[in-house]
């Protein structure tokens, strides 16, 4: 480095004639132009992290003051993007509460209203379409998910000889998705909800591969939500708009259930097939279902994930 570079044009004319200087310069210019052109995909990137987001602390290490700053940043970002001032909060788990979901397979008619109520509540991308709930149609007398169909579109449901099984995040007690996350961007909270910090997720999709229920969705492209369909009641770990390149999934409507309300999929179910509540309260609907109903299953219970989502039948 101390010796002058013999190829450098400013090192004098001892080693370089006019011709080779011009040739090198021409090649260099072409190369730089080509490099700039080949970086075109970077120019399409709109969502560069701001310094604030880049320097943000890990969720569990944030003080309430830190969280207030983050919530203000998210509020401004959403307002800038959608022209609508949202109400973003960080709802903490309630004491003495563990959520359980029960779904009555005898009652479900397969109308898919829960799918779309969930999309509306949780600000999922409409195009490309991201849905947390998938309704499987299976022939009576079997529970073989390999034989299930999810693209059914008859004139009327329910169809004779079939039953319907909506599948969403099972909020496992022993969640494989949490174990594989290399950056601890997903974890289980004390009320049983497995949450994702969208600002901490690096988008490696290990959790998607680990989930035996295919409950996690990845934002391959920039999510698209029409402004008029945006739900302004948002939570940090729940339904605030996501970015391209992060995972998302059902979180039992954190912004509703941690305020004591029922989740959106339950409210819309026309058949009353969905039941939700606190398993630690012996008088809650779910406690009574698990105590009195004769048959209930946990999907793929043999693999030891111990879901908090129970399917049952009645007469």
Partner 1 sequence: MSTESKTTKSLLLLSVVFTTLAAGFLASPSSQPAKQNISLVDTNFLDKSTWRRSYADLVKAKEDLSDFDCYACHEKNKPPPLRYDAEQHLIVPKEHPDIVMHHGSHERNNNCYNCHNESNLELFQTRDKHELKLADSAPLCGSCHGPTYRDWEAGIHGRTSGYWDRSLGAMDRKLCVNCHNPHSPKFPGRKPAPGPHPLREVETARGTPGRSGSDLHAAVNDPLASSPQSLRPGVPRAEAH
Site string for partner 1, 124-143 (x = CB under 8 A): --xxxx-x--x----x----
Task: Calculate the alpha carbon distances from 82 to 1, 50, 255 in Å.
Answer: 54, 18, 20
Phi, psi of 247 (to 5 degrees): -85, 155
**Near partner 1 in 55-114, by CB under 8 A:** 94, 109-113
The verdict on 313 binding partner 1 (CB under 8 A) reads no
Indicate the pairing of strand 309-313 with strand 295-297.
Answer: antiparallel
DSSP H or E run through 89: strand 87-89
CB of 234: closest distance to partner 1 in angstroms? Answer: 18
CB 223 within 8 A of CB 130: yes
The verdict on 38 binding partner 1 (CB under 8 A) reads yes
Closest to partner 1 by CB, 1 or 51: 1
Closest to partner 1 by CB, 198 or 218: 218
CB of 280: closest distance to partner 1 in angstroms? Answer: 12
**Near partner 1 in 204-223, by CB under 8 A:** 208, 214, 217-218, 220-222
Helix (H, G, I), strand (E, B) or coil at 201: coil
Site string for partner 1, 11-30 (x = CB under 8 A): ----xx---x--xx--xx-x
Closest to partner 1 by CB, 40 or 80: 40
CB 94 within 8 A of CB 191: yes
CB of 69: closest distance to partner 1 in angstroms? Answer: 28
Stretch of residues binding partner 1 (CB under 8 A), selected from 63-71, 79-87, 234-242, 266-274: 266-274
> The tokens of 266 are what?
């339950």
Closest to partner 1 by CB, 16 or 67: 16
The verdict on 4 binding partner 1 (CB under 8 A) reads no
CB 257 within 8 A of CB 263: yes
Residue 64: other Cβ atoms inside 10 A: 7
Closest to partner 1 by CB, 31 or 184: 31
Closest to partner 1 by CB, 74 or 286: 286
Residue 291: other Cβ atoms inside 10 A: 8
Closest CA to 241 of 218, 264, 225: 225
> The tokens of 26 are what?
């021409």
The verdict on 168 binding partner 1 (CB under 8 A) reads no
**Near partner 1 in 271-310, by CB under 8 A:** 271-272, 275-278, 284-285, 288-289, 292-293
Phi, psi of 266 (to 5 degrees): -70, -45
Stretch of residues binding partner 1 (CB under 8 A), selected from 61-69, 152-160, 187-195, 230-238: 152-160
The verdict on 156 binding partner 1 (CB under 8 A) reads yes
Helix (H, G, I), strand (E, B) or coil at 260: coil
């Amino acid at each position: 480095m101390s010796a002058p570079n013999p190829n450098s044009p400013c090192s004098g004319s001892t080693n370089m004639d006019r011709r080779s200087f011009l040739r090198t310069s021409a090649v260099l210019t072409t190369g730089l132009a080509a490099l700039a052109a080949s970086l075109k995909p970077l120019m399409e990137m709109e969502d560069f992290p701001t310094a604030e987001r880049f320097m943000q602390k890990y969720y569990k290490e944030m003080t309430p003051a830190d969280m207030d700053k983050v919530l203000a940043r998210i509020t401004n970002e959403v307002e800038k993007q959608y022209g609508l001032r949202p109400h973003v909060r960080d709802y903490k788990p309630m004491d003495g509460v563990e959520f359980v979901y029960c779904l009555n397979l005898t009652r479900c008619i397969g109308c898919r209203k829960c799918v779309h109520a969930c999309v509306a509540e949780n600000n999922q991308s409409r195009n490309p379409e991201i849905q947390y709930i998938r309704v499987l149609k299976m022939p009576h007398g079997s529970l073989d998910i390999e034989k299930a169909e999810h693209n059914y579109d008859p004139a009327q449901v329910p169809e004779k000889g079939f039953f319907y099984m909506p599948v969403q995040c099972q909020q496992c007690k022993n969640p494989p998705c949490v174990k594989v996350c290399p950056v601890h961007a997903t974890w289980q909270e004390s009320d049983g909800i497995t949450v994702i910090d969208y600002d901490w997720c690096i988008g490696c999709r290990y959790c998607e591969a680990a989930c035996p229920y295919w409950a996690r969705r990845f934002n391959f492209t920039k999510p698209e939500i029409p402004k008029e369909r945006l739900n302004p009641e948002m939570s940090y770990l729940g339904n605030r708009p996501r970015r391209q390149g992060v995972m998302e999934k059902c979180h039992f409507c954190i912004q509703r259930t941690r305020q004591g309300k029922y989740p959106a999929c339950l409210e819309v179910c026309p058949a009353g097939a969905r039941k939700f509540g606190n398993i630690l309260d012996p008088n809650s609907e779910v406690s009574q279902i698990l105590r009195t109903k004769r048959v209930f299953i946990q999907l793929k219970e043999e693999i030891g994930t111990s879901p908090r989502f129970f399917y049952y039948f009645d007469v």
